[in-house]
């Protein structure tokens, strides 16, 4: 979601392959990939159509790989998500991207490109929508994707740490990666740290590992979380079971994102 620019925040720069300099405005999201709809286009067949996105807060960058074919590397290691500071460099195949706080003196205006404040509208081929789960629960978002029969990958980010990755085909959850705390996230009513999500188109799916319907899968996850909570209660005194949570409660708040058809 777009945020108003803070006049106290300054632009930063991304130097690509030591040649082309991109000026990035605060509170903006930049997409990098092979398609011309990206804000930074890399004409290389090894680069995915929409390879990764780079969020600039005004103080630091957050780099997120979009399940690319050849990966996004930081310090030579593939990442899912990585916080970058000024001076850091990441790589996409043979291409290097360096984060700079100040404009290099040896770069001419001909080599520099000023990026307008990018938004979700620029990510129209792959990223359908993204935002923060501050106004509604994660299970409400999953219900929305199920009801709308959406196909794609839901990526979660808590604070600045990558979370579960949920694959949908026509609304059905077919696979979940890094699902250790998914049950807790589904039943959580509020988030101490911001829970951010991305939902984008996906063409390459892992093998299906979840064969039950999405409503049944969610009910199972909620039940397992209830059992975990019950087991953590003190052993002395009567056990009070946690309140039953239906995954599709009508008591949800917030406005669901509009889906690009």
Residues 6+ apart with CB under 8 A from 105: none
Listing from the earlier edge strand, what are the strands of the sheet with 40-41? 40-41, 28-33, 52-56, 61-65, 81-84
Say which DSSP state 214 is in. H
Residue 180, beta-bridge partner list: none
CB 12 within 8 A of CB 99: yes
Tokens of 261: 């058809």
What is the reported pLDDT for 242?
45
What is the reported pLDDT for 90?
98
Rg over CA atoms, the chain? 20
Instruction: Check the CA dihedral 41-45-51-56 and report its sign.
Output: negative
What is the reported pLDDT for 140?
87
User: pLDDT tens digits for the chain (261 residues)?
Assistant: 444 445 557 889 999 998 889 999 888 889 999 888 888 999 898 998 889 999 998 889 999 998 888 999 999 999 999 999 999 999 999 999 999 999 887 665 555 555 544 433 344 445 677 777 766 688 988 998 999 899 999 988 876 678 899 999 999 999 999 888 888 888 887 666 667 888 888 778 899 999 999 999 999 998 888 888 888 755 444 434 444 444 443 333 344 555 555
Q: How many CB atoms lie within 10 A of CB 258?
A: 8
**Distance, C-alpha 241 to centroid of its chain:** 34
What is the reported pLDDT for 161?
75
Instruction: Classify 204 as helix, strand or coil.
Output: coil
What is the reported pLDDT for 155?
87
Determine whether 237 is exposed, middle or buried from the number of CB atoms within 10 Å of its CB (0-12, 13-18, 19+): exposed
Q: How far apart are CA 133 and CA 141, in angstroms?
A: 9
Residue 96's nearest CA partner among 3, 16, 213, 177 is 16
Instruction: Give the chain's domains with CATH numbers.
Output: 12-100 (2.60.200.20), 127-231 (no CATH)
Q: How far apart are CA 226 and CA 245, in angstroms?
A: 9
CB 24 within 8 A of CB 30: yes
What is the reported pLDDT for 246?
42
CA angle, 197 then 202 then 204, to 5°: 130
**pTM, full prediction:** 0.49
């Amino acid at each position: 979601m777009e945020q108003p620019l803070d006049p106290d925040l300054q632009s930063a720069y991304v130097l690509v392959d030591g040649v082309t300099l991109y000026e990035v405005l605060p509170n903006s999201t930049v997409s990098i990939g092979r398609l011309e709809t990206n804000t930074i286009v890399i004409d290389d067949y090894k680069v995915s159509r929409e390879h990764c996105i780079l969020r600039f807060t005004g103080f630091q960058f957050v780099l997120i790989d979009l399940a690319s074919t050849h990966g996004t590397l930081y310090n030579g290691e593939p990442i899912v998500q990585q916080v970058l500071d000024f001076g850091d460099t990441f790589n996409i195949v043979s291409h290097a991207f360096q984060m700079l706080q100040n404009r290099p003196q040896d770069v001419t205006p001909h080599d520099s490109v000023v990026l307008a404040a990018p938004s979700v509208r620029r990510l129209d081929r792959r990223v359908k929508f993204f935002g923060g789960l501050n106004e509604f629960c994660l299970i409400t978002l999953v219900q929305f994707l199920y009801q709308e029969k959406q196909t794609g990958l839901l990526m979660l980010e808590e604070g600045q740490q990558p979370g579960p990755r949920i694959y949908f085909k026509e609304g059905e959850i077919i696979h979940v990666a890094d699902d250790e705390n998914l049950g807790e996230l589904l039943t959580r009513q509020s988030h101490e740290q911001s829970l951010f999500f991305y939902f984008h188109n996906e063409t390459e799916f892992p093998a299906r590992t979840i064969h039950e319907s999405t409503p049944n899968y969610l009910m199972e996850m909620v039940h397992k979380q209830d059992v975990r909570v019950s087991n953590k209660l003190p052993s002395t005194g009567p056990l009070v079971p946690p309140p039953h949570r239906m995954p599709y409660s009508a008591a949800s708040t917030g406005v669901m994102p509009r889906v690009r058809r």
